[in-house]
A and B are shown apart, each in its own frame.
Chain A
Amino acid sequence: MTIVVLNRRNLLVAGGSVLATGVLANGVPGLLLPARADGLAPTETMSGGANNYRKGAAIVDRIGKGGFWMSGTVRRAGDGAPLAGQRIQIWAHTVEGQEHEPQSHGATLTDKDGKFRLEMPQIIPIFGQPHGHLAYDSGEFKTVFLRPVMRSPKDTSLEAHFVLQTA
């Protein structure tokens, strides 16, 4: 969903800006400017997001044997610009290990569009909810812990999106 929003945003920024400034800004500058000033709000850390976090998980091509996809985006608060090369740490209770065990943890980097995608073992319900954990903890921006929940334990993918603010 958010990827669609992101594309639409890119489209607006890249292609529609001339039109927007030409039509809207001249006509109603007071309405357009405050919206830009507020911008994209930063993502708050979710409660329980940092549970069973291990500092400094290695960047891996895949966690364990894979079969499940964790993906998402990393953007900058305010202007929503995609952030490339950001390290996102991922862990969960999977068919290959419990949340706190080292083999359940791994990290990946965002691409030039601010997107990340890491294959990992199938997530299974733990503590009553099938969920994953993600962290941005590199220091340049404020640390954020996310805890997205799967709609069904049978899902084979999960998304989480970061909007980071400068630390």
Chain B
Amino acid sequence: MTGWALARVILIWAALAVAIGVPIAFAAGSEQLAWRGPVYILAGFAGIVALGLVLAQPLLIGGYLPGFSAYRGRRAHHWIGGALVLAVVIHVAGLWITSPPDMIDALTYASPTPFSPFGVTAMWAIFLVALLASLRRRLGLRPRTWRFLHMPLALVIVVGSVAHCLLIEGTMETISKAALCALVLAATAKAMIDLQVWRKRRALRGEGTARQ
């Protein structure tokens, strides 16, 4: 590996660490934490981590993270997807414990807060993608069918998560939050354009076998 290549690898990973780490660090310094219980704090950070994981997903599948081949990037994408489900479950469960009536309002789309329906919709899209991914082989979904199902849901997840996050007045600092959201949108757009996800192409031969 040449010096420049190594520098590039370090730079890309450092940028990702900054993009996710800085908003978390700012939130960890929020004065509001002083008036929250441990379960509420955990629930809030699970939400922030979930947004960070949403950023990692297009980067992995688009092959933008050095050190991850197409195969390893795809494997990591699956694992991160599972971690995203776990983070969302912790987020919702923690908020439910903190204030059951507010969480029930949100889940039933009866909440007065404008950000709740975005978050709840993104949550269902995340669960649905995870369910479909786990059943993908059993259902015999071809890559084309899978893409047809996954891409609209991925868009719902990304747009829903970003809108949810931006509208919340919570522990996250405004600028670092907006920057993370912008990166999530940009990474998703780049991956979808590079992979030409809208194209009705025939299954690439390598695509079916690469997952085995």
A147 near B99 with CB under 8 A, answer: no
Interface residues of A in 39-59 (CB under 8 A from B): 46-52
Binary CB contact string for chain B from 97 to 132 against chain A (1 if under 8 A, 0 otherwise)? 011011001000011110110000000000000000
Q: In the complex, A93→B32 CA distance in Å?
A: 11
Q: In the complex, A51→B98 CA distance in Å?
A: 12
Number of A-B contacts (CB under 8 A): 53
The answer to the question of A124 belonging to the interface, with a C-beta cut-off of 8 Å to chain B, is: yes
Q: Which of B110, B112, B167 contacts A147 (CB 8 A)?
A: B112
Q: Which of A99, A124, A128 contacts B113 (CB 8 A)?
A: A128
Q: In the complex, A94→B35 CA distance in Å?
A: 8
The answer to the question of A60 belonging to the interface, with a C-beta cut-off of 8 Å to chain B, is: no
Q: A128-B115, A128-B168 are in contact. Are A47 and B99 (CB under 8 A)?
A: no
Nearest chain B residue, comparing its CB with the CB of A121: B35
Q: Which of A49, A50, A93, A100 contacts B35 (CB 8 A)?
A: A93
A127 near B37 with CB under 8 A, answer: no
The answer to the question of B29 belonging to the interface, with a C-beta cut-off of 8 Å to chain A, is: no
B99 near A127 with CB under 8 A, answer: yes
The answer to the question of A24 belonging to the interface, with a C-beta cut-off of 8 Å to chain B, is: no
Report A65 CB to chain B, min CB distance, Å.
14
A98 near B37 with CB under 8 A, answer: yes
Q: A46-B112, A47-B111 are in contact. Are A126 and B99 (CB under 8 A)?
A: yes
Which range holds the interface residue count of chain A? 20 to 34
The answer to the question of A21 belonging to the interface, with a C-beta cut-off of 8 Å to chain B, is: no
Binary CB contact string for chain A from 123 to 167 against chain B (1 if under 8 A, 0 otherwise)? 011111110000000000000000100000100000000000000
B32 near A48 with CB under 8 A, answer: no
Interface residues of A in 106-130 (CB under 8 A from B): 124-130
Residues in B whose Cβ lies below 8 Å from that of A130: 169
B99 near A48 with CB under 8 A, answer: no
Report B168 CB to chain A, min CB distance, Å.
4
Pick 28 A–B contacts, CB within 8 A, sort by A: A47-B105, A47-B112, A48-B101, A48-B102, A48-B110, A48-B111, A48-B112, A49-B112, A51-B101, A51-B105, A52-B99, A93-B35, A94-B35, A95-B35, A98-B37, A98-B99, A99-B99, A124-B35, A125-B170, A127-B95, A127-B102, A127-B113, A128-B168, A128-B170, A129-B112, A129-B169, A130-B169, A153-B169
Residues of A bordering B, CB below 8 Å: 46-52, 93-95, 98-100, 124-130, 147, 153
Residues of B bordering A, CB below 8 Å: 32, 34-35, 37, 95, 98-99, 101-102, 105, 110-113, 115-116, 167-170
The 8 lowest CB-CB distance pairs between A and B, nearest first, are A51-B101, A128-B168, A48-B112, A47-B112, A125-B169, A127-B102, A48-B105, A124-B35
Known: A48-B113, A129-B112, A153-B169. 8 other contacts (CB 8 A): A46-B112, A50-B101, A51-B99, A51-B105, A52-B99, A95-B35, A98-B98, A127-B99
